[in-house]
Structure 1
Amino acid sequence: MPLQTADILIVGGGVVGSATAYFLTTQPGFHGRVLVIEKDPTYGEAATARSAGGIRQQYSTAENIRMSLFGAEFVRHAAEHLSLPGERAQLPFVEQGYLFLATPEGLPVLQQNHALQTGLGADIALLNNAGLRRQFPWLNTDGLAGGAFGRRNEGWTDPYSLLQAFRRKAVAQGAVYLQDEVVGLRRDGDRIAEVTLAKGGTVAVGALVNSAGINAARVAGWAGFELPVRPRKRFVYVFDCRDSGEIQKGPLLIDPNGVYFRPEGASFICGVSPPEDRDPDCTDLEVEYGPFEKTIWPTLAERVPAFEAIKLVRAWAGHYDYNTLDQNLIIGRGPSLANFYMANGLSGHGLQQSPAIGRALTELILEGGYKSIDLTRFGYERVAKNEPLAELNVV
Structure 2
Amino acid sequence: MGRLAKTPKRDSYDVVIVGGAMLGASVAWFLAANPDFDGRVLVVERDPSYSACSTAHTNSCLRQQFSAPINVEISRFAADYVRRFRDEMGDARVPGIDTQYFGYLYLAGDEATASRLRANAAMQAGLGAGTRILTPDEIAAAWPFYDLDGVVLGSHNPVDEGYFDGGTMFDWWRRLAAERGVEFIHGEVVGIDTVRDRVTAVRLASGETVSCGWVVNAAGPRAAGVAAMAGLSLPVEPRKRYTWVVRAAAPLDRDLPLTVDPTGVHFRSDGACYMIGATPEDDPAVAPDDFAFDHGLWERKVWPAVAQRIPQFESLKVVNEWVGHYAYNTLDRNAVVGPDDRIGNFLFVNGFSGHGLQQAPAMGRGIAEWITTGGYRTLDLTPLHVDRIRAGRPLGEAAII
If the TM-score is normalised by the length of the shorter chain, which range does it land in?
over 0.9
The whole-number CA distance in structure 1 between the counterparts of 2:263 and 2:177 is: 40
Does 1:328 find its partner at 2:334? yes
CA contact (8 A) 2:19 2:45 kept: yes
Q: CA deviation at 1:41?
A: 1.7
- Paired residues for 1:50-61 under 5 Å: 50-61=57-68
Does 1:318 find its partner at 2:324? yes
The whole-number CA distance in structure 2 between the counterparts of 1:136 and 1:173 is: 48
Alpha-carbon distance change, 83 to 43 in structure 1, aligned in 2, over 3 angstroms: farther
Partner of 1:279: 284
Unaligned runs of 5+ residues in structure 2 are 1-8
Partner of 1:360: 366
Partner of 1:101: 107
Partner of 1:259: 265
Partner of 1:299: 305
The whole-number CA distance in structure 1 between the counterparts of 2:256 and 2:283 is: 31
CA contact (8 A) 1:89 1:165 kept: no
Secondary structure (helix, strand or coil) at the match of 1:278 reads coil
Amino acid aligned to 2:105? L
Partner of 1:205: 212
Moved more, 146-155 or 2-11: 2-11
Secondary structure (helix, strand or coil) at the match of 1:156 reads strand
The whole-number CA distance in structure 2 between the counterparts of 1:50 and 1:90 is: 22
Q: CA deviation at 1:165?
A: 1.6
> Of 231, 242, 259, which residue of structure 1 is paired with 2:249?
242
Spell out, residue by residue over 1:139-186, the C-alpha distance to the aligned partner (whole angstroms, 9 max, x if none). Answer: 111111111111111011223222112111211222111111111100
The whole-number CA distance in structure 2 between the counterparts of 1:15 and 1:155 is: 19
Amino acid aligned to 1:260? H
Amino acid aligned to 2:32? T
Q: CA deviation at 1:79?
A: 1.6
The whole-number CA distance in structure 1 between the counterparts of 2:240 and 2:166 is: 18
Secondary structure (helix, strand or coil) at the match of 1:246 reads coil
Alpha-carbon distance change, 217 to 372 in structure 1, aligned in 2, over 3 angstroms: same
- Paired residues for 1:18-167 under 5 Å: 18-82=25-89, 84-85=91-92, 87-105=93-111, 106-167=113-174
Unaligned runs of 5+ residues in structure 1 are none
Partner of 1:193: 200
The whole-number CA distance in structure 2 between the counterparts of 1:38 and 1:278 is: 27
Secondary structure (helix, strand or coil) at the match of 1:311 reads strand
The whole-number CA distance in structure 1 between the counterparts of 2:51 and 2:166 is: 12
CA contact (8 A) 1:233 1:282 kept: no
Give the total of aligned pairs: 391
The whole-number CA distance in structure 2 between the counterparts of 1:71 and 1:163 is: 13
CA contact (8 A) 1:99 1:148 kept: yes
The whole-number CA distance in structure 2 between the counterparts of 1:201 and 1:232 is: 32
Q: CA deviation at 1:258?
A: 0.9
- Paired residues for 1:371-390 under 5 Å: 371-390=377-396
Q: CA deviation at 1:3?
A: 5.4
Q: CA deviation at 1:47?
A: 0.6
Secondary structure (helix, strand or coil) at the match of 1:49 reads helix
Please tell me the root mean square deviation across aligned C-alpha atoms, in Å: 1.5
Amino acid aligned to 1:9? V
Spell out, residue by residue over 1:68-88, the C-alpha distance to the aligned partner (whole angstroms, 9 max, x if none). Answer: 111111112212123645x22
The whole-number CA distance in structure 1 between the counterparts of 2:166 and 2:30 is: 18
Partner of 2:5: none
